[in-house]
Structures are given as structure tokens and as C-alpha cells.
Amino acid sequence: MPLVGRRHLCPETHLTARCWDERLRGDQGAGFVVAGEVVGHVAEAAAHGVDLVPVVALLGAAVIGVPLFKRLGLGSVLGYLAAGLLLGPSGIGLINDPESVLTTAELGVVMFLFIIGLEMEPAKLWALRKQIFGLGVIQVGVCGALLTGVGVLLGFAPVVAFIFGMGFVLTSTAIVMQILGERGELSTDSGQRMVSILLLEDLAIVPLLAVVAILAPSSGGDVGVLTRVLSIAAPIGAVLLLIFVGRRIMNPLFALLASSKLREVMTAAALLVVLGAALLFQASGLSMAMGAFLAGVLLSTSTFRHQLEADVEPFRGILLGLFFLAVGMSLDLGIVGDNWQIIAMSVVAYMLVKAGAIYIIARLLKSSHREALERAVLMGQGGEFAFVLYTTAVSAGIIDGPTNAIFTATVIVSMVLTPFFIIGLRYVMPKNEAPSMDGVEEVWI
């Protein structure tokens, strides 16, 4: 809407000094008209250009809400979740498309896995193979079977219960890795075991998506042999290509770019590696986070490792905070209210069964009571990969939209409850084994 002066038309894209001069000479009534015109102009500019209102709102909510929640001792993740809930469709409705925000924010998890990969040299990762494919497989298999049974008892069809249970098995990598990182426990034995399980769960999304495709109702058409071969060859090819590029090209490339002595070029190159690896794996049907993790592992012995970590870390922190904001926005209180009984039963049953199974498995494998209890509490919730599995199941026709909403709400509620369980862990843990709670508020960044 153009801004109309008293005797001429001001440019639509901006207000000139002459326009403002004429307006300021007007009477008080004209001033109110001008104010209304300015507001209308800003609204129209936002509609046709970059809308900064949601961006400013997200930043403002994080700046105000997160320190407040930390001050109250509740942890900053609850601040992010509460701020997201306030801004989302269930709150004031300032942001009505949380799915798009969540998709972008998942890059925070991707960058986090890249940084973790930088800390894991190939030899160190090889040393964890028994924990990844031993402990990880046992936990995923046992928990998946038990949660599928819980779903059947709750009245879901076996196939639907399987999708629900296996999605809930996939723990939130963002939450657990952030806690371990802030506590400095990533390099400890207990931390390494949890990292191994998380890596296996990230890998498990690939066969689970393949199972969804197999379980999908037949559309009457046969899948060609070539399609089946490509679905198997593409992931293998992506892994081999990334290994080749990581070993043969990345280091010489970074050496060349470093000679330019331009910091912004190195930062752009670091982001290119992370996002390029994520895109390659996503295009081949694998997890973006696993692509970034493998890229990090390949660069873990590089002389530019610390430079890469410093360049990616700021983006990781911001996007990970945005991820928690998006999770809060995605919680639909209307769905929770309409289906509160089944959601409440699902949250309680799934978290108790999963946490109980994790504790028993840990104890059977000779872990201490403290380690087993901490692992059960930290990994008792669902995670972000459940959203991917449930959405794929909807597209395949296995579950419908309302069922997907119930499953998604169950996972989100479990993620929201986890910070409270972390805080309550100090009262459950025996005094002589009480974990250090130093920085419990800093854990949730």
C-alpha cells in the first residue's frame, strides 16, 4: 500500500525525508493517519519480503524465558519449550507452521553430531563397535518388543503398535547429547555407552523406514527390480562416496582455503561439509545426522579439526535452541485435550516400560545402580526421529492423521517431562552416589 502525502505520492519501498517533512507539518489528526499508514506499510512489506516478526519473537522469547527458567532451577530446555508453546498455534498463534521451523531446527542436531564426530577418531569409534552393535542392538530390540506389546494392550492394531513402539524407542539425541556434553561426560565410560546406543538408534531409522515401506498397503503395482536394487545401492554408495571425499579431498581443500587467510571462507567451507554430508545421506535414504557424524569422524584427525569445531559451534547452539522452541510449538494442546486419556496412558506406560527395560539391561550387563538409573532417566523419552517414522507411516497409509497426532503428542510430552525427571533424579539417587548437579541449569542450552 503506497504512502500518500498531502500533495504527492511517496515511494512504496521507503519514506523519503521530504515525505516525512510534509507529514510532520500536518495536524495531529493527520499524524494518526500517517501512523496507521506506516503500520500498514510495514505489514505489507513483511507480507512481500522478509517477515522479521517471528524471528524477533523467537529471539525475544528465548532471551527472556530461558534465563528465567534457569533462574528458577528448571533448566533452560523448559524455557525453550515454554516459549515455543506460547508462540505456537496452542499459544498466541504468532507462528502457525511449527513443522517448517522444526525441519530447519533439526540442522542443530546435525551440527551437534558433526562436532561429536570430530571428537571420535576412527580408531576410537572402532573400539566402540561391541557397544554399538552389542549393547545398542539389545536395548533397541528389547525395548521395541516391549513397547509394541504395550501398544497392543492399549488397543492399537499390531502393525500400528509396532510403528508407535519403535518410534518411541528412538531416544532424543539432542537432549541426551547436550546433557552429556555439558556435564563433560561424553568421554567417560558411561557416556560412551550412551553415545553408542544413540548411534545405533540413529542407524536403526534406516531399516525401520524400509520396514514401513514393506508394511504399507499394496497399491496394486509391483515394485521393479531396478528400484529395489537402487534402494539398497544408494545408501552404500553414499557412505563410500563420503569416505572417499573425506579421505582424499577435504584436507587438501581446507589447506587451499586456509592459504587465502579469509575466516569467512573457512566458515562457509565448514558449513558446506556439514550440510553437504547431511544432504548426501538424506538423498540416499539415510539419516542426515549420521552423514554429519561420519563427516566429523573423517575429519577428526585433520589439522583443521579445532578450526572446524569453532566455526560450526555457534550455529549448532542457535539451531539446537531453535529445535527445542519448535518442539514446544509442535505440542497441540487441542489434540492433547481431546485425547488426554490415551495420551496420558501412553506417556506413563511407554516411559515406565522403556526406562525399566533400560535399567534392567544395564544392570544385567554389570553397570552400577547409579549408571543404570541415570541411563534409564536420560533415555526414557522418545525423540526427534520418531516424527520422521510416524510421518513416513502416514504417507504409506499405515496410520491416519489423528493417530499420528496422538503419537507425536505422546513423544513431545515425554520430551517435555524429561527435564523434570532429571531434576528429580537427585532425590531418588542414594546420597553416597548422588550425581553432581553442578550446571544442571546449563545442561539445557
Specify the number of domains making up the chain.
2
First to last CA, the chain: 42
Below-50 pLDDT ranges, the chain: 1-39, 41-43, 45-46, 220, 434-445
Q: Is residue 68 part of a domain?
A: no
Q: Is residue 69 part of a domain?
A: no
CATH code: domain of residue 203 = 1.20.1530.20
Burial group, residue 4, by CB count within 10 angstroms (0-12, 13-18, 19+): middle
- Give residue 354's pLDDT: 95
- The C-alpha cell that represents 425 in the structure block: 533424579
- Give residue 73's pLDDT: 66
Q: Is 17 helix (H, G, I), strand (E, B) or coil?
A: helix
- Give residue 21's pLDDT: 46
Cα–Cα dist 129/132, whole Å: 5
- Give residue 146's pLDDT: 94
- For helices 17-24 and 28-48, the axis angle rounded to 10 degrees is 150
Residues 6+ apart with CB under 8 A from 155: none
Do residues 144 and 166 make contact, with C-beta atoms less than 8 angstroms apart? yes
Q: Is residue 445 part of a domain?
A: no
Cα–Cα dist 139/14, whole Å: 61
Q: Is 216 helix (H, G, I), strand (E, B) or coil?
A: coil
Q: Is residue 19 part of a domain?
A: yes
Determine the structural domain holding residue 45 and report its residue range: 1-49
Cα–Cα dist 89/336, whole Å: 13
- Give residue 11's pLDDT: 42
Q: Do 35 and 151 have their domain in common?
A: no
Q: Do 19 and 131 have their domain in common?
A: no
Cα–Cα dist 162/152, whole Å: 9
- Give residue 218's pLDDT: 59
Q: Do 388 and 293 have their domain in common?
A: yes
Q: Is residue 67 part of a domain?
A: no
Q: Do 230 and 137 have their domain in common?
A: yes
Cα–Cα dist 177/112, whole Å: 8
Q: Is residue 241 part of a domain?
A: yes
- Give residue 42's pLDDT: 43
Q: Do 397 and 265 have their domain in common?
A: yes
Cα–Cα dist 209/212, whole Å: 5
Q: Interior CA angle at 381 toward 275 and 190, to 5°? A: 80
Q: Do 35 and 170 have their domain in common?
A: no
